[in-house]
Structure 1
Amino acid sequence: MSWNKILDQLEAGTIRAADRDGDTWIANVKVKEAILDAFKAGKNVSYGGIYEGFVDKDNLPPRIMHPDEGVRLVPGGSSIRRGAYVAEGVILMPPAYVNIGAYIDEGSMVDSHALVGSCAQIGRNVHLSAGVQIGGVLEPVGLSPVVVEDDCFVGAGSVIVEGILVKRGAVIAPGVTLSKSVPVYDCVHEKLLGKGAPIPERAVVVPGSRPVSNEWGKSQGLSISCPIIIKYRDEGSNASLELEEALR
């Protein structure tokens, strides 16, 4: 199948850059390869019309949204790139950017200065607060992208990169960084989840710190930032109220 047809299917939401397999997500290698092929096939051109002055690949223009799609793309510098899926009921506040291969499901909010990177998967009723950075994982093609499952809340300025999985209903406090190199600590169950561990369902994650391990660092009182699970939500709890309580 040609890269052009695959990009059409990505925009329609009939295929995705990653698919759920039980409790994990698996990258769709053919989709990611098609996106890379599209980059190779494209030539840099100067866009016209409302995009006058911008230069990008001629085959990957920003999407033009229509009212019957049910998406609110609020004026002020936001852009949805070719090959990205944005479902009915999604709201994008300016400026926000949704890159190629990304998937944003129904009812989600992408707030100002937020990025949804290439191939990132965002579930239903997810709130990405102002300044949130959801990293894109296009290469290597076999690596799963960042996935934020249904009903999650991601606080302002948080960074989620390198294929991290945030499971359903989790709450990420403002300023949390989740990556493959940062260990996650679970204070509720009193255990170390490890570097790059999936964030469990309904976990409330706040910014924390741990002491530097070498002697010189200890003598200087240095510490390294790390995410800490401070509590778990119950099924009916409100994400913002749970976060407010956890941060007190």
Structure 2
Amino acid sequence: MTTAFISPLPQEIDDLWERRTELTPDHKEARDIIVGAIDDIDAGGARVAFVDEATDEVVVDERAKRSILLGFRVLGMEESKVGDFYHHDRIPLKTRFDGVRVVPGAIARWGAYLAPGVVLMPSFTNIGAWVGSGTMVDTWATVGSCAQVGKNVHLSGGVGVGGVLEPPQAAPVVIEDDAFLGSRTMVVEGARVRRGAKLGAGTILTSSTRVFDAESGEELARGEAPAWSVCVTANRVKSFPGGDFGMPVLLVLKRLEEGQEHDKLALNDMLREHGVNA
């Protein structure tokens, strides 16, 4: 964490974290502090992580993650009902949807921030997540706990954006502005999709995934889809004692002009040349 960053959440959260094993739903004062902190995350006043523009590093607000983890200690199990569906959980469903379109079947938990202009098709958004304005979370897509999704992002059907709560200092998945994730793409383990990157259907990206440029053969930063690029999952042969095997890598097919908007037809044509769809 950069030294200049100061969490907007109360310092009492850190004190409560040090004695977290003692906490139960009966501790009303602690519960009020923790609920207030999570409510601030839910409203967008605080967030689990963000990209520092000065350093280009992902800064994690450990106090925000601690607030969420503490919530599981001080919130009791409660039954709730939505139509004919019953729920039994410690974390209630989100109720703050100012300017957000929520299609029936979409689920968002309290503690997830959804900016005005977000569209939720039947999907799941977990606690601590942050989703920027103009972003589409398409059908059966999942935004995991504490995942950070920027503005004007398209998460296609069945996309899985992984979550992370523990350890508190661990960086979550970050999907930056203007990114496009094709159907059934999986981005997990704190991987990062940089601004404007387009990932073809079925792409797998983890923090340890090796990344290669298709034109130069150069190996790029692991676990990152470069800004303004078109990427797919490919295989690179690696020799083992038992034989040669194809190991998954991320292949950068093409570099886009900075600011190039989503043109799904053009993107599909580009990916089909390589046997992949968006």
Partner residue in 2 for 1:105: 132
Deviation at 1:51, TM superposition (A): 6.8
SS at match of 2:230: strand
Gaps in structure 2 of 5+ consecutive residues: 1-9, 11-32, 274-278
SS at match of 1:48: strand
Deviation at 1:20, TM superposition (A): 1.9
SS at match of 2:36: helix
Partner residue in 2 for 1:199: 225
TM-score by length of 1: 0.90
Mark the CA change 1:47 to 1:236 in structure 2 (over 3 Å): closer, same or farther. closer
The yes-or-no answer on 1:209 pairing with 2:201 is: no
Partner residue in 2 for 1:15: 46
Task: Provide the C-alpha distance between the structure 2 equivalents of 1:143 and 1:135, rounded to a whole number of angstroms.
Answer: 13
The yes-or-no answer on 1:3 pairing with 2:30 is: no
Partner residue in 1 for 2:252: 229
Deviation at 1:185, TM superposition (A): 1.3
Task: Provide the C-alpha distance between the structure 1 equivalents of 2:158 and 2:82, rounded to a whole number of angstroms.
Answer: 28
Deviation at 1:247, TM superposition (A): 3.5
Task: Provide the C-alpha distance between the structure 2 equivalents of 1:168 and 1:135, rounded to a whole number of angstroms.
Answer: 18
5 Å matches for 1:26-41? 26-41=59-74
Deviation at 1:210, TM superposition (A): 1.0
| Residues 107, 124 of structure 2: 8 Å contact kept | yes
Mark the CA change 1:49 to 1:164 in structure 2 (over 3 Å): closer, same or farther. closer
Larger radius of gyration: 2
Gaps in structure 1 of 5+ consecutive residues: none
Mark the CA change 1:205 to 1:243 in structure 2 (over 3 Å): closer, same or farther. farther
5 Å matches for 1:4-153? 4-21=35-52, 22-50=55-83, 52-57=85-90, 60-65=91-96, 69-75=98-104, 77-94=105-122, 96-153=123-180
- 1:204-223 C-alpha deviation (Å, 9 max, x unpaired): 111211113225322xxx31
Task: Provide the C-alpha distance between the structure 1 equivalents of 2:38 and 2:242, rounded to a whole number of angstroms.
Answer: 52
| Residues 233, 242 of structure 1: 8 Å contact kept | no
Task: Provide the C-alpha distance between the structure 1 equivalents of 2:148 and 2:84, rounded to a whole number of angstroms.
Answer: 27
- 1:199-244 C-alpha deviation (Å, 9 max, x unpaired): 22101111211113225322xxx31222101111113534322353
Task: Provide the C-alpha distance between the structure 1 equivalents of 2:62 and 2:217, rounded to a whole number of angstroms.
Answer: 37
Question: Aligned letter for 2:193?
Answer: V
Partner residue in 2 for 1:173: 200
- 1:6-34 C-alpha deviation (Å, 9 max, x unpaired): 11111211111002223121111000001
- 1:8-63 C-alpha deviation (Å, 9 max, x unpaired): 11121111100222312111100000100001112222213537422111xx2111
| Residues 169, 203 of structure 1: 8 Å contact kept | yes
| Residues 92, 111 of structure 1: 8 Å contact kept | yes
Task: Provide the C-alpha distance between the structure 1 equivalents of 2:221 and 2:51, rounded to a whole number of angstroms.
Answer: 22
TM-score by length of 2: 0.81
Task: Provide the C-alpha distance between the structure 2 equivalents of 1:150 and 1:37, rounded to a whole number of angstroms.
Answer: 30
Question: Aligned letter for 1:19?
Answer: F
| Residues 17, 119 of structure 1: 8 Å contact kept | yes
Aligned residues: 238
When the two chains are superposed, the root-mean-square deviation of aligned CA atoms in Å is 1.7
Mark the CA change 1:215 to 1:48 in structure 2 (over 3 Å): closer, same or farther. closer
